[in-house]
Structure 1
Amino acid sequence: MTDLAGGPAGDGLPAPIRLRGAAMSLITLLGGVSLAVIPAATISISSRLFTVPEQGLLAVAVLVATFTGQITFAVVVESRLSSVVSERRVVFPLWLASIAVVTALVVSIVPPNAVLLAVALPILLAALEVGRGVSVAERLDRREIAASIAVGAGALIGVLAGFASLQWALIPLVLGIAFATCVRSLPVQHRASRPHPAVMGWVIADTAITGVVYPLLNSMILAFLGSADAVLFASIATVSGLLAIPLNFMRLRLLKEHSRADVVLSAASVLAAVVALLVLEFTGIFGFLFGTAWTGSATLLPLLLACGWRAASLATTLPFTSLRRMGEVRLLTGLRAISSALTFALAALGLALQSLPTVFFGLLLAELLSAFFYEVARRRRAAASHRETTTLDADAEDA
């Protein structure tokens, strides 16, 4: 596929086309904010509609929903993008879109209920994760812009209604998701590549190994530190997820092919996101959004550590996507297992010390160590590939 944003596939295109492609990439990247605001908006609205124990339940449910979205994304999108013997095309499945729209309608009709919302969140976030992933990977930029506006507008209206303690605050949030899902499921001209069971199995395994750490960790925080700390952990993890938007964008693009322009754009966006989060922290907006869970604790240090943890993913993503493109699914699963065990151990150490800043420091340290392991593996695989190519060339010359 032609890479309009730059890189090897786009170097031969005229400058105006490359510039237009880069602008569309930037707009699509910014549209990722809509995906990140849904967990934050859910926590904010919940703080006005539900009791503290119910908020603790939903704080865990948000991370469980994020994990579910990652698994669904692995099945529908990443397993196909990780195949080295297909065209690596993806589409938004109608079955997922239908379930998500029905779920959103049910939540909008039934009066606010924490248990119902906890059950609905995994379905809604799975649809958002897959729908955006398909649009970014296939460069369906125009429909993605419309979908992002719908999600963002619904979240904004819902949060504002939550500030006023209006019982219908969840309705615009879920209806925005439903509209975006309909837009993202519009027909496309291509068909999805057939998934390879072996590749899919390895991709799902390493996604599950990595993603299960965070809901499990927050469940432990809820059990040992209480609902307030669980809500605070989920809140900080959610707002620092703003940094994950450009990183996920870069990851999707690099799974297709390497692009220097997308790497530079994503890195600059990460820096801009850190600045934006600090501005929101110092102006007290986060305290206003999340209520006493945020204002009742010192949040600057854990927020900085959470930003460092997210930003460190930049160093992990580059070798990870390179190994994905090489088809090294088994190697990556082993690396993910090591990384997840390390992440959980270091974060659990912080939990044992009953300190959220130490938990986030453990996550940061684990990410940096993981980046080192991934890069070592990538260099060894590249060296082995070079030796194999040299040997084949020598044998051909001898023949």
Structure 2
Amino acid sequence: MTTDLPAPLRMRRAMTSLITLLGGVSLAVIPAATVSISSRLFSEQEQGVIAVAVMVATFAGQLAFAVVVESRLSSAATERRVVFPLWLAALSVLTAIVLAFNATNPVVLCIALPILVAALEVGRGVSVAERLDGREIWASVVVGIGALLGVAAGFAGQSWALIPLVAGIAVATCIRCLPVEHEASRPEPAVMGWVVADTAITGVIYPLLNAMILTFLGPSDAVLFISIATVSGLLAIPLNFLRLRLLKEHSGLDIVVSAGAVLAAVVALVVLELSGVLGFVFGEAWTASATLLPLVLACGWRAASLATTIPFAALRRRGEVRLLTGLRAAVSAMTFALAALGLWVQSLSAVFIGLLVAELLSAVVYEWARRHRTSRVQRAATSTAGKVQNPGRGADPEATSGASV
């Protein structure tokens, strides 16, 4: 536990955690940079399709993360060690090369995005879980520089603007797949099945929702939805970081660091919105509509995940995979229903209100489940201790009586 460490070591670990956490910005900027560059290179209809592809890529990344990282971290009977698979790294680098030679083809971009994002999710997840902070800092810097150069080239109207972006991803992938001393734990098959199932149930909602927005509200609203979701995704960086650390062990220090980062991210996004920076980055899809209210609601939705993450990770550490899958299925159905109700109103703000309410209700559900399971385990432990202290308790009354005579 981090609270058992000396004060100087706790401070050093907090600073390292903060630096690694900030490195997560590199993962969040990829969807944002892709949307920004696409707004300068492709038609409005193509941008709408790419917006859905970004959500599909995020979903693919979540599934890959569940298979490679989370299933092992949730396998309580193992050492819970993870590594970056070389096959995924090689596939990602090859995909980046193909996309670099077809940088103006929206179809190739839509096909490549799920593979590239999956490698980014898994690579960062492994680095954070195993505390490979040095390599993660360098990888994050490379991804950030590639995204920045790509967005700048997009502003300049250059047709090759996607090339620096994918080059940064390829180099970062190579850094993250450097050899490590440990081997990956073999996940428990049943645990992997449950983890992947509940990830799929939860993750499929958002690409489906964005596809419905594209169908019923048009490409402009679909691009705006993914833009706001991507920008508010800055808050998901400390939340994902916290989730990874809590899957290993409970840490009050990481909770405090992550909560502070969430608050700072909300302030930063509001400042960027009021100063017009976000409108400049995302172009006409952002400036054509009022975005302050949807952005604030989206930030509230993301920030509410902090209350969900803590009990969720506690249940994961205990190996409660079946319970979590059932809870996630119920929560996902509720989330989709509330978001779809907002879509029926034909308002993106209403969609984000639905997502926010669903997240708050989810936190209540997970916390109730955590307390219920904790109290049940405590009762079982008390009962076991009582039987050990009184071994004759519960024995046949007649046998006990005969022995006393």
TM-score by length of 2: 0.96
Q: Are residue 165 (structure 1) and residue 138 (structure 2) matched?
A: no
Q: CA deviation at 1:11?
A: 3.6
Kindly provide the CA deviation profile for residues 289-322 of structure 1, in whole angstroms up to 9, marking residues without a partner as x. 1111000001011001000000000010011000
Match of 2:327 among 335, 339, 342: 335
Q: Are residue 288 (structure 1) and residue 285 (structure 2) matched?
A: no
Stretch of structure 1 that moved more, 104-113 or 28-37: 104-113
Query: 1:62, 1:39 → 2: CA distance?
Result: 6
Query: 1:103, 1:231 → 2: CA distance?
Result: 24
Match of 1:359 among 334, 351, 371: 351
Aligned length: 391
Cα RMSD of the aligned pairs, angstroms, is 0.7
- Matched residue, 1:300: 292
- Matched residue, 1:73: 65
Q: CA deviation at 1:346?
A: 0.3
Q: Are residue 372 (structure 1) and residue 364 (structure 2) matched?
A: yes
Kindly provide the CA deviation profile for residues 44-100 of structure 1, in whole angstroms up to 9, marking residues without a partner as x. 000000000000000000000000000000000000000110110000000000000
Q: CA deviation at 1:112?
A: 1.1
Q: Superposition pairs for residues 180-329 of structure 1, below 5 Å?
A: 180-329=172-321
Write the letter of the residue equivalent to 1:75.
V
Structure 2: 5+ residue runs without aligned partners? 392-405
Write the letter of the residue equivalent to 2:337.
A
Write the letter of the residue equivalent to 1:101.
V
Query: 1:394, 1:339 → 2: CA distance?
Result: 38
Q: Superposition pairs for residues 95-134 of structure 1, below 5 Å?
A: 95-134=87-126
Kindly provide the CA deviation profile for residues 203-237 of structure 1, in whole angstroms up to 9, marking residues without a partner as x. 00000000000000000000000000000000000
* Secondary structure at the counterpart of residue 312 of structure 1: helix
Q: 1:12 to 1:373 in 2, by over 3 A?
A: closer
Q: Is the 8 A contact 2:103 2:162 kept in 1?
A: no
- Matched residue, 1:3: none
Query: 1:32, 1:313 → 2: CA distance?
Result: 17
Write the letter of the residue equivalent to 1:100.
S
Kindly provide the CA deviation profile for residues 357-379 of structure 1, in whole angstroms up to 9, marking residues without a partner as x. 00000000000001111111110
Q: Superposition pairs for residues 20-99 of structure 1, below 5 Å?
A: 20-99=12-91
- Matched residue, 1:147: 139
Kindly provide the CA deviation profile for residues 255-297 of structure 1, in whole angstroms up to 9, marking residues without a partner as x. 0000000000000100000000001100101111111100000
Larger Rg: 2
Q: Is the 8 A contact 2:3 2:252 kept in 1?
A: no
Query: 1:304, 1:17 → 2: CA distance?
Result: 37
Query: 1:92, 1:236 → 2: CA distance?
Result: 30
Stretch of structure 1 that moved more, 104-113 or 337-346: 104-113
* Secondary structure at the counterpart of residue 297 of structure 1: coil
Write the letter of the residue equivalent to 1:313.
S
Query: 1:69, 1:11 → 2: CA distance?
Result: 33
Which ranges of 4 or more aligned residues in structure 1 deviate by more than 2 Å? 10-18
Q: CA deviation at 1:110?
A: 2.1
Query: 1:130, 1:167 → 2: CA distance?
Result: 30
Query: 1:96, 1:299 → 2: CA distance?
Result: 37
Kindly provide the CA deviation profile for residues 81-129 of structure 1, in whole angstroms up to 9, marking residues without a partner as x. 0011011000000000000000001111224110100000000000000
Q: CA deviation at 1:19?
A: 1.8
Query: 1:221, 1:302 → 2: CA distance?
Result: 15
- Matched residue, 1:5: none
Query: 1:169, 1:39 → 2: CA distance?
Result: 14
Write the letter of the residue equivalent to 1:369.
L
- How much identity, in percent, do the aligned residues show? 72
* Secondary structure at the counterpart of residue 190 of structure 1: coil
TM-score by length of 1: 0.97
Q: Is the 8 A contact 2:235 2:302 kept in 1?
A: yes
Structure 1: 5+ residue runs without aligned partners? 1-7
- Matched residue, 1:389: 381
Query: 1:188, 1:63 → 2: CA distance?
Result: 32
Q: CA deviation at 1:168?
A: 0.9
* Secondary structure at the counterpart of residue 250 of structure 2: coil
Query: 2:222, 2:296 → 1: CA distance?
Result: 18
- Matched residue, 2:169: 177
Q: CA deviation at 1:16?
A: 2.6
Q: CA deviation at 1:17?
A: 2.4
